Amino acid sequence: MTLPFRELVDSAPDGLIVCDQTGTILLVNAEALRMFGYARDELVGSSIDVLVPAGIRPRHHQHVASFVRSSRLRPMGSGLDLHGCRKDGTEFPVEISLSPIESATGMMVTAGIRDITERRALERETRRANAYLTSAVDAVQEAFALFDEQDRVVMVNSAGRQLLGSRLGGSIIGQTFATVLDGALTAGAFDFSDESREALLRRWLAYHAAPSGTLDVRTGTGRYLRVTERKTAEQGTVAMIADVTEDIQHAAELSAARVAAEAASAAKSEFLSSMSHELRTPLNSILGFAQLLERDRKNPLDPRQIERLQYVLRGGEHLLKLIDDVLDLAKIEAGGVTISIEPVGLSEVLGEVVHTLEPLAARAQIRIATQQPTAPPQITADRTRLAQILMNFGSNAIKYGRPGGALVFRVEPKPRTVRVTVIDDGIGIPEHKRDKIFEPFQRAGQEAGPIEGTGIGLTISKRLAEMMEGTVGFKSSEGVGSEFWIEIPVHRDETSEPSATVVTDRGPSLLTTGAAHHLVIYVEDNPSNIAFMRDLMEELPSVELMTAPNAELGLELIRAHLPKLVIMDINLPGMSGFEAVERLRTWPETRAIPVIGLSAAALPKDSLRAKEAGFERYLTKPVKVAELTRALEELLETPPQA
Ligand code: ADP
């Protein structure tokens, strides 16, 4: 069988060249021809030197000779970058293996040649990528280290080397995690004042074994480090150690600032509540006694005195309104006002508002009218706050109204809301003053005028409306009148009952007829308040008043005399009014005695607390005589509930 020798050699994937010991080419395969760009007859018979770069041709000759002498299989030029030279003179990287062949005509050499241009390019690419990666990792500020599956360091950046490996003798690469950590601890890289060396070592090793989340440590120089380790897909570990000192300091500063802000806000609340108390107590005397003087039937004042007294009353009321508004606004701004949204019958609220405004309107010779559908839908609102808004719109309409004019409350149901518009035919607001009227203390030019005001009413109204998911707005025409409106969401559930109670007219009061006898005990430390109450009770012949200057004595008096009603100041020396009422509620004989609380604190949280403590009523000072007498009538004329 003749071997198809030629075909066999030509189909080899590598270049094959056979030459004799002088370097003359005897045989060359197809791949070698392709690689070097020659035709077969150009190479066969010529020297192998033509395939070698010109620069090394002189030495190449000697290499061939020495190979022939040693005559064993070996790669050529190991450790050197070998190049071939094409016919066109271009060079390319090659890998060559040489083997000797003994033949009858003497020694021959076979060279297997592989073009490694692509491999070299790939190697360059890999080297470049590696260099990129290394310099990127190095550029990272955080310490970075990569451990292989045997927990040995394979890569570390300079920050990592500095932190963990500064005291290791020799390279950190190849060291185990345990060795590196131990070295770093020994070198004093970390702080052991809060935690012993062993405890820190244990903590870190445990974290390293199953890393999740982060691990915080302190350095010997007082910096905070946050370690984040994760397992890699190859079961190695990557560790990042970041210096978070600034973050931690920042967080500490923030939290200190928050604590300070909370303290300041608490101090502000405290200040507001004590302001309220301090200002209201003297006002209590001023308004209380002025009301008594005005009503005094035994020694009635003459018209001139009444007129002057009314200045006192009006001044006091204005001051009171100012205090209330400023406190209210401050509370709203501080987010301290909670509102309770419930289904509200608008007609009732409107009825109360109109009723309250009537005397004011009468004095200003203004008629009040309401326009509303026969069955206006229920709305969802905070009843008291809604009334406050309508009162504010209404009293403005009267204040800035025109004598002989009209004030109209118009109710218009809309698809999802109800709009209440308060319409007056008064002085109106000049156009250039309109944009700021909902901002605090903006009085749209009225600050210089004779009409009293604080410029906060509309601000409060707007904020409150927004808290109830409502909106407010207005239109005005100077010299013609204004319309202020509020829109409030409609209550969706049609089945619920209106929550308001119906106010009914009462016949003549038993208190003033003197047909009964009621003992009332008043616990109060302020002498002028006691004098005021005594004067007031003189108008009620059926009431006998006893007073006690503090809660302890008050409780004794109450248990000894079992009065029909107790009126209790809240801010008492020693035991507070709250505590006193809580005690009364624990004794069977005093449990059912109704108690009216009287306090200068006007903040909503106080009346809530009063309700919880068990007060039947909770009135704020300055006492409104009519309000107090109404409460007395209601509580003294109904038999106590057991
Ligand atoms: P004030 O206590 O001054 O009445 P408000 O906040 O209630 O404060 O109102 C702000 C300003 O808006 C008032 O000072 C007044 O100039 C103007 N204003 C409010 N309501 C009316 C109205 N119905 N007619 C004319 N001007 C009004």
Q: What is the CATH number of the domain that holds 570?
A: 3.40.50.2300
* Boundary of a domain, candidates 277, 295, 327: 327
- Examine the domain organization and report whether 194 and 298 are in the same domain: no
User: Of 489, 517, 545, which residue sits at a domain end?
Assistant: 489
**Is 373 found in the same domain as 475?**
yes
Q: How far is CA 178 from CA 172, 228, 637, in A?
A: 12, 17, 88
Residue located nearest, by CA, to atom 21 of ligand 1: 396
Three-state SS string over 360-388 comes to HHHHCCCEEEEECCCCCCCEEECHHHHHH
Are residues 460 and 358 part of one domain?
A: yes
Strands 617-620 and 15-20: unpaired
Place of tokens 């094959």: 16
Judge if 528 and 416 occupy the same domain. Answer: no
What per-residue confidence (pLDDT) applies to 10? 85
pLDDT > 80? residue 515: no
Q: Please work out whether the CB of residue 444 comes within 6 Å of at least one atom of ligand 1.
A: yes
129 belongs to a structural domain: no
Residue 192 counted as domain residue: yes
Q: Is 421 in the pocket of ligand 1 (CB under 6 A)?
A: no
Rounded Cα distance, 461 and 391, in Å: 10
426 contacts 446 by C-beta, under 8 angstroms: no
Q: Does the residue 200 lie in any domain?
A: yes
536 and 587 both lie in a single domain? yes
Residues 185-205 pLDDT 10s: 888 788 888 888 899 999 999
Q: How far is the CA of 396 from the centre of ligand 1 (A)?
A: 6
> Is residue 535 in some structural domain?
yes
Give residue-wise pLDDT tens across range 523-541. 998 887 888 888 888 878 8
**Alpha-carbon distances, residue 511 vs 479, 540, 619, 638 (angstroms):** 49, 6, 20, 12
User: In terms of pTM, does the model score above 0.85?
Assistant: no
- For the CA of 459, the nearest atom of ligand 1: 6
Asked if the structure places residue 107 within a domain, the reply is yes
**225 CB within 6 A, ligand 1:** no
- In order of 36, 304, 352, 458, the CA distances from 383 in angstroms are 100, 40, 11, 18
> What backbone phi and psi angles, to 5 degrees, belong to 170?
90, -170
Share of the chain above pLDDT 70, in %: 92
Bridge partners of residue 245, in order along the sequence? none
Sorting pLDDT into bands at 50, 70 and 90, what band is 369?
very high
> Range of 62's domain?
3-120
The 3-class secondary structure across 162-182, one letter per residue, is: HHHHCCCCCCCCCCEHHHHHH
For residues 470 and 524, state if they share a domain.
Answer: no
Mean pLDDT, to the nearest integer, of 540-564? 90
- Give the span between the Cα atoms of 621 and 527, in whole angstroms: 15
For the Cβ of 286 lying below 6 angstroms from any atom of ligand 1, the answer is no
Q: Is 485 in the pocket of ligand 1 (CB under 6 A)?
A: no
Task: Give the residue, by CA position, lying nearest to ligand 1 atom 7.
Answer: 457
| Tens-place pLDDT, residues 257-304 | 999 988 887 787 677 767 777 888 888 888 989 988 988 888 899 999
Sign of the dihedral defined by the CA atoms of residues 354, 359, 360, 363, in that order = positive
Residue in 424, 421, 453 with CA at minimum distance from that of residue 440: 453
Closest ligand 1 atom, residue 433 Cα: 16
Same domain, 351 and 470: yes
Same-domain pairing of 308 and 207: no
Domain for residue 258, yes or no? no
Residue 42, exposed/middle/buried by CB under 10 A (0-12, 13-18, 19+)? middle
Asked if 107 and 167 sit in the same domain, the reply is no
pLDDT at position 101 is 85
Total domain count for the chain? 5
Nearest one of 68, 82, 80 to 117, comparing CA atoms: 82
Task: Kindly give the number of the ligand 1 atom that is closest to the alpha carbon of 422.
Answer: 23
Among 306, 327, 348, the domain boundary falls at 327
pLDDT at 78: 61
Q: Domain check: are 442 and 556 in the same one?
A: no
Q: Is the Cβ atom of 343 under 6 angstroms away from ligand 1? A: no
Structure tokens at 128: 């470049």
Identify whether residues 456 and 481 lie together within a single domain: yes
Could you tell me if the CB of 457 is within 6 A of ligand 1? yes
Residues in the chain: 642
> DSSP strand E in 334-451: where?
342-344, 367-371, 379-381, 406-413, 417-424
As a whole number, the mean pLDDT across the chain is: 86
Q: How does 507-530 read in b/e, with b if 16+ C-beta sit within 10 Å?
A: eeeebeeeeeebbbbbbbbbeebb
As beta bridge partners, residue 406 has 367
Q: What is the mean pLDDT of residues 516-523?
A: 88
Residue 496 lies in a domain: no
513 and 459, same structural domain?
no
Lowest mean pLDDT among 47-61, 71-85, 102-116, 488-502: 488-502
Rounded Cα gap, residues 83 and 89, in angstroms: 12
Q: Is the pLDDT of residue 169 over 70?
A: no
Has residue 433 got a pLDDT over 90?
A: no
In the reported structure, the alpha carbon of residue 166 is separated from the centroid of ligand 1 by a whole-number distance in angstroms of 76
3-state helix, strand and coil shares in percent for the chain, rounded to the nearest 5: 45, 20, 35
Tell me the CATH number at 217.
3.30.450.20
Q: Where are the strands (E) in 198-253, listed by range?
A: 215-218, 224-231, 237-243
Q: Give the number of the atom of ligand 1 that is nearest the alpha carbon of residue 447.
A: 14
